[in-house]
Amino acid sequence: MYPNTQMLIAGEWVNATGGATLDVLNPATGEQIGTVAKASIEDLDRALEASMTAFQLWKKTPVVERAALLRKAGELLRERADSIARLLTIEQGKPFAEAQVEVLLSADVLDWSAEEARRIYGRLIPSRADGVVQRVIREPVGPVAAFTPWNFPVSQVVKKVAPALAAGCSIIVKAPEETPASPAELIRALVDAGIPAGVVQLVYGNPAEISEHLVPHPTIRKISFTGSVPVGKHLAALAGKHMKRATMELGGHAPVMIFDDVDVQAVAHTMASSKYRNAGQVCVSPTRFMVQESVYDAFVSSFVETAAALTVGDGLQSGVKMGPLVNERRVQAVDELISAAAKDGARVALGGERIGNKGSFYAPSVLADVNRDMRIMNEEPFGPVALMMPFRDVEEVVAEANRLPFGLASYAFSRSARIVETLANEVEVGMLTVNHLGLALPETPFGGVKDSGYGSEGGAESMESFLSPKFVTHNAF
């Protein structure tokens, strides 16, 4: 039912040289379900060589052909969505319906990148002298190294691979060791669609060892990382030292600003469903709920009512709305933050404890009456916990939203155009969604500011990060 995952190097599915593997566990049971190959330096060197050879061919492959292959891979992904989603749920824990959405949205990213590839235009700049032609060509940057996390094992890979391939780059992906089988199926769809050997490659292993080898290597011209702020800063420094372009999609601590002119129950319902998606292990997860004083109590109780009704369990069981956390380490981390906040005076309005002793389940949790000195209000909890505090006016809520070094997603609910425009101008984030959940579409930019990183993974911006401008000036006379 669950495969042992191999790597894809130079067009072949292979075990590691020397046969090293890592264990893969099902977070719903804690039991081992398979293994994943653990790359040696020799494996990485073969991948680097193949990546450079493939890049020379792929960058010259007409863009319509590159686009057709990406669209074909998208079709294959849709045909295989249920079986891939099943693997994703078994290794990562999220409910099957969420896994299906992830795979189908990943197919949309392939389609969108295929379409956008056909619009990689250069430009002509009017010259200062008769006979001089000044043009800007946009060229693929070269072989890319990508590092992706376990929370969205398929879509985090496709957000890097699809625009890279569309732009004409080759790419080596180090996908997550915790959840290896579903991203391998995405790569298989690309291979089955006909992407030539070496253009896309897949490795797993010791993340630090792999990044220390790939990032400084002269073959690699760009890196793209999604994960935690500390690891991101380390890799950004390494990239800087070796003058590599980088995209960093790091953590957040998303503020949710709820004003008293909205339908409080409806907003509570929408946000409680969104908070516990993927058990809160989402970089844009709504986390700091700031609610205007007069509707604070009503909001907290409606939110708790919706959250309390969520069914937690094995993501393959029907009716389950929240699965386990990805591993025991995450359970410990979330529990520590919640316990410390409770000790410091937060009111545990819901949950605040693990569920059962098999698998890494944690209860949907709500901490009310938190304050800004608590650790959980300063560190990203990355788990199923909503933090609630009241606010007086727009100035206070903006100051709290901007207080942390993170600046990824933010949410706001208000019918006042004046308030919404103030937030749009004043909140220091990469994304703001107002009166609905509207983030992370293939065609819209996705990324952060401040410690949340730089670069963008969606929209036209995603293609941009894999292209370099080349200026050519020609005196034809």
Binding interface with ligand NAD (CB under 6 A): 147, 149-151, 176, 207-208, 211, 226-228, 231, 235, 249-251, 283, 329, 380, 382
Q: How far is the CB of 416 from ligand NAD (least distance, A)?
A: 32
Please say which residue, 21 or 292, places its beta carbon nearer to ligand NAD: 21
Please say which residue, 151 or 292, places its beta carbon nearer to ligand NAD: 151
Q: How far is the CB of 376 from ligand NAD (least distance, A)?
A: 12
Q: State yes or no: is 169 an active-site residue.
A: no
Q: How far is the CB of 158 from ligand NAD (least distance, A)?
A: 14
Please say which residue, 168 or 459, places its beta carbon nearer to ligand NAD: 459
Q: How far is the CB of 146 from ligand NAD (least distance, A)?
A: 10
Q: How far is the CB of 207 from ligand NAD (least distance, A)?
A: 3
Of 102, 177, 249, 457, the active-site residue reads 249
The full 3-state SS of the chain, as one line of letters, equals CCCCECEEECCEEECCCCCCEEEEECCCCCCEEEEEECCCHHHHHHHHHHHHHHHHHHCCCCHHHHHHHHHHHHHHHHHCHHHHHHHHHHHHCCCHHHHHHHHHHHHHHHHHHHHHHCCCCCEEECCCCCCEEEEEEEEECCCEEEECCCCCCCHHHHHHHHHHHHHCCCEEEECCCCCCHHHHHHHHHHHHHCCCCCCEEEECCCHHHHHHHHCCCCCCCEEEEECCHHHHHHHHHHHHHCCCEEEEECCCCEEEEECCCCCHHHHHHHHHHHHCHHHHCCCCCEEEEEEEHHHHHHHHHHHHHHHHCCCECCCCCCCCCECCCCCHHHHHHHHHHHHHHHHCCCEEEECCCEECCCCCEECCEEEECCCCCCHHHCCCCCCCEEEEEEECCHHHHHHHHCCCCCCCEEEEECCCHHHHHHHHHHCCCCEEEECCCCCCCCCCCCCCCHHHEECCCCHHHHHHCCEEEEEEEEECC
Q: State yes or no: is 31 an active-site residue.
A: no
Q: How far is the CB of 235 from ligand NAD (least distance, A)?
A: 6
Please say which residue, 223 or 271, places its beta carbon nearer to ligand NAD: 223
Q: How far is the CB of 139 from ligand NAD (least distance, A)?
A: 27
Please say which residue, 53 or 156, places its beta carbon nearer to ligand NAD: 156
Please say which residue, 57 or 208, places its beta carbon nearer to ligand NAD: 208
Of 98, 102, 169, 283, the active-site residue reads 283
Please say which residue, 339 or 422, places its beta carbon nearer to ligand NAD: 339
Catalytically active residues, by annotation = 249, 283
